[in-house]
Amino acid sequence: SAVISQKPSRDICQRGTSLTIQCQVDSQVTMMFWYRQQPGQSLTLIATANQGSEATYESGFVIDKFPISRPNLTFSTLTVSNMSPEDSSIYLCSVSDRGTDTQYFGPGTRLTVL
């Protein structure tokens, strides 16, 4: 499976600021996804990052709050904008390839908003 890295691994941010999380894969992949895992909760899909076009957001998530870029087949970013303490979560990227539904996860970014 692909090797996935995320930066930063953790951060503590002030309310009202924004943080951009990077996801890098060591090989080209068709699909990249962004998830949120709130404390003590399961994973919730934020959006599918589409290469060369706008991301596809799930219900309850909007582009103004979580802008996503995917400039190529190995890299994506998720920005958490105008943060509030409720955004404190682990943010995970995952990847899968065409022909398979299997998703592999990066190590995650632990975000704390004060």
**Which listed residue (44, 82, 84, 112) binds other proteins by CB under 8 A?**
44
Phi, psi values for residue 86, rounded to 5°: -65, -15
Residue 34 bridge partners (DSSP): 47, 93
What Rg, from alpha-carbon coordinates, does the chain have? 13
Euclidean distance between CA atoms 69 and 83, whole angstroms = 18
- Residue among 1 and 18 whose Cβ is closer to other proteins: 1
Phi, psi values for residue 55, rounded to 5°: -70, 155
Cβ 108 to other proteins, closest distance in Å? 5
**Which listed residue (52, 85, 86, 101) binds other proteins by CB under 8 A?**
101
Region near other proteins per CB under 8 A, out of 13-21, 71-79, 80-88, 102-110: 102-110
- The runs of H, that is alpha helices, within 1-114 are none
Contacts to other proteins by CB under 8 A:
1, 31, 33, 41-45, 48, 56, 58, 90, 92, 94, 96, 101-108
